[in-house]
């Protein structure tokens, strides 16, 4: 942990001195607080800086922006009593010290001016209630009324007040506790954890947008399973994502059981996280088996089956994304596609890796084929090393064939060389069933390797197919 001199050296920068000197001129106390101080002590770089003044924070922000000159951009949020100054790589958030009180059925606080101690009391966790003074005569003095330094040293997340008070005031803090545990590798203190479990239902008064923002941060943490496990054990997942929580549990009939698909899913997300920071590929991992609870059946001869769980899961994605206020544009379609196709590479291995099947996979996956293969490889969570090696070798064979077919046939994202407009022109047709039949036949013939993926070959096939339907060309 840093000494007073090391703290001074760490914030011995023009921007902090300017804020402190400006506060002195206005007769205000000014402190850098919260996440910046926490990350400074943890040696985590950040340029997001929260400044609390004992007095009007907006006035301090205006004065600082004026001194910084034309390269500073000031935004004032009078309704919330805050202001933001963007300057070079820095984002400075200013607020006056305040105290808050809440009614039991609302997440909107009653706010009034307060002391620094009042402001620190309203913080979510002790590690975020640390403050460093910026005034010249007390520069870099650390104010730590709740022993946040001790919690930092012990890697512990603990609320500054009674956790029930802290979480009742803003229930999103329950998810923030889990997020910090996941991001920082900290443990949640016992009383704080017990309060989260008791108060989980109160999350329902928080807007879905805020919940999803916190959940995305959990998903982007180095080992998402840390946060996902806590999310499930706390009771929050049952409320926020019941479709995912439904994967929990293993069932046994006649001595035959299936694995806990929730635990498996968390492992898959971790496997993906080792390879990419792509949030939407991580979502595909989280949701790849979401259709299993709805398709689970026990057959005395076959054991447990989950037929078409990929198809059912893909159908669930749009509704789930809409409810979670996730993007319903291309990102949703990307996740839906990967969920739908995640069984295909393995089925290719089981049925034989034919050129035709590879062409169809390339056509359907398009530019997302590489991400699909990463998902499939991450889906290997067996503890049997021989089985893992066999799966990896199988997927290696699929990757090899994908590369060969792509280089030879240029199928990825291909559009058939004969368009619907060309079919109508050649046979003097209007849009309808016959045009669709011919176009689909051309596509299938190319994917099956019957004709080459080029115009002349496809044109000759079109003529033959049209003749089968009793059509004759009027022009070439």
For the stretch 227-241, pLDDT in tens is 999 999 999 999 999
Which homologous superfamily does the CATH classification assign to the domain defined by 4-154? Beta Polymerase, domain 2 (3.30.460.10)
Say how many residues make up the chain.
Answer: 476
**What local confidence, expressed as pLDDT, does residue 358 receive?**
85
Q: Which pLDDT does position 107 carry in this prediction?
A: 53
- In whole angstroms, how large is the CA radius of gyration of the chain? 30
Given this model, what pLDDT does residue 106 score? 54
Q: What is the pLDDT of residue 111?
A: 63
Question: By C-alpha distance, which of 162, 89, 78 is closest to 121?
Answer: 162
User: Which tokens is 139 given?
Assistant: 């520069």
Q: What is residue 450's predicted lDDT score, i.e. its pLDDT?
A: 84
Residue 39: name the closest of 11, 74, 80 by CA.
11
Distance in angstroms (rounded) separating the CA atoms of residues 136 and 138: 6
Count of other CB atoms within 10 angstroms of residue 71: 9
**Both tokens of residue 352?**
């034989």
Entry pTM: 0.86
- CA gap 210, 175 in Å, rounded: 10
Tell me the C-alpha to C-alpha distance, in Å, between residue 427 and each of 287, 417, 420, 476: 46, 17, 11, 9
Given this model, what pLDDT does residue 102 score? Answer: 52
Which residues are paired to 84 by β-bridges? 75, 93
Burial 388-426 (b: 16+ CB within 10 A, else e): eeebeebbeebbebbeebeeebebbebebbbeeebbbeb
Return the exposure string of 221-246: e unless at least 16 CB atoms fall within 10 Å of the residue's CB, then b: bebbbbbbbbbbebbbbbebbebbbb
Contact 438, 469 (CB under 8 A): yes
pLDDT for the residue numbered 319: 96
Q: Tell me what pLDDT residue 1 has.
A: 67
Any idea where the domains of the chain sit in the sequence?
A: 4-154, 157-240, 420-468
Q: Which tokens in the block code for residue 389?
A: 């090696």
Alpha-carbon torsion 150, 152, 157, 163, what sign?
positive
Considering the domain 157-240 in this protein, what is its CATH number? 1.10.110.30
d(CA 98, CA 81): 10
Contact 98, 119 (CB under 8 A): yes
**pLDDT tens digits in sequence order for the chain, 476 residues long:** 677 788 888 899 999 999 999 999 999 999 999 999 999 999 888 888 999 999 899 999 999 999 998 889 999 998 888 999 999 888 999 999 887 655 555 556 556 678 899 899 889 999 999 999 999 999 999 999 999 999 999 999 999 999 999 999 899 999 999 999 999 999 999 999 999 999 999 999 999 999 999 999 999 999 999 999 999 999 999 999 999 999 998 888 888 878 899 999 999 999 999 999 999 999 999 999 999 999 999 888 888 889 899 999 999 999 999 999 999 889 999 999 999 999 988 887 776 778 888 888 888 898 899 999 999 999 999 888 888 898 888 888 888 888 888 777 676 666 778 888 888 888 888 888 888 888 888 888 888 888 888 888 888 888 888 888 888 888 55
The mean of the pLDDT values for the chain is 90
């Amino acid at each position: 942990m840093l000494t007073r001199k090391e703290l001074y050296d760490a914030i011995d920068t023009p921007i902090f001195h300017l804020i402190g000197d400006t506060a002195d001129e206005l007769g205000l106390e000014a402190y850098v607080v919260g996440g910046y101080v926490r990350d400074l002590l943890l040696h985590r770089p950040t340029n997001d800086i929260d400044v609390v003044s004992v007095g009007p924070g907006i006035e301090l922000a205006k004065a600082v922006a004026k001194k910084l000159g034309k390269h500073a951009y000031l935004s004032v949020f009078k309704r919330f009593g805050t202001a933001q100054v963007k300057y070079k790589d820095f984002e400075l958030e200013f607020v006056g010290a305040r105290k808050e009180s809440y009614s039991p059925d609302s997440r909107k606080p009653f706010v009034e001016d307060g002391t620094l101690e009042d402001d620190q009391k309203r913080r979510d966790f002790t590690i975020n209630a640390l403050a460093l003074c910026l005034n010249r005569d007390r520069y870099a003095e650390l104010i730590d009324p709740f022993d946040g330094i001790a919690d930092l040293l012990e890697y512990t997340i603990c609320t500054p007040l009674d956790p029930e008070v802290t979480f009742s005031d803003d229930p999103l803090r329950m998810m923030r506790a889990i997020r910090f545990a996941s991001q920082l590798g900290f443990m949640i203190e016992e009383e704080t954890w017990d309060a989260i479990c008791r108060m989980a239902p109160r999350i329902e008064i928080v807007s879905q947008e805020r919940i999803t923002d916190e959940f995305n941060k959990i998903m982007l943490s180095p080992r998402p399973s840390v946060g996902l496990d806590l999310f499930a054990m706390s009771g929050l997942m049952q409320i926020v994502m019941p479709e995912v929580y439904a994967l929990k549990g293993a069932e046994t009939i006649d001595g035959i059981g299936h694995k806990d698909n929730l635990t498996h899913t968390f492992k898959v997300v971790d496997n993906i996280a080792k390879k990419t920071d792509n949030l939407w590929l991580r979502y595909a991992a989280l949701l790849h088996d979401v259709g299993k609870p709805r398709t689970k059946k026990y057959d005395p001869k076959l054991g447990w089956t989950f037929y078409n769980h990929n198809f059912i899961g893909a159908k669930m994605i749009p509704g789930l994304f809409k409810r979670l206020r996730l993007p319903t544009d291309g990102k949703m379609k990307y996740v839906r596609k990967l969920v739908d196709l995640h069984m295909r590479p393995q089925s290719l291995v089981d049925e034989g890796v034919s050129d035709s099947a590879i062409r169809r996979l390339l056509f359907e996956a398009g530019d997302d084929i590489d991400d699909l293969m990463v998902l499939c490889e991450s889906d290997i969570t067996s503890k049997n090393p021989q089985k893992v090696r066999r799966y990896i070798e199988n997927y290696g064979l699929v990757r090899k064939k994908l590369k060969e077919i792509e280089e030879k046939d240029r199928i990825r994202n291909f559009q058939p060389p004969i368009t619907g407009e060309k079919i109508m022109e050649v046979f003097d047709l209007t849009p309808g069933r016959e045009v669709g039949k011919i176009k689909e036949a051309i596509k299938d013939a190319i994917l099956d390797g019957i004709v080459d993926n080029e115009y002349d070959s496809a044109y000759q096939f079109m003529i033959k197919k049209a003749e089968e339907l009793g059509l004759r060309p009027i022009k070439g």
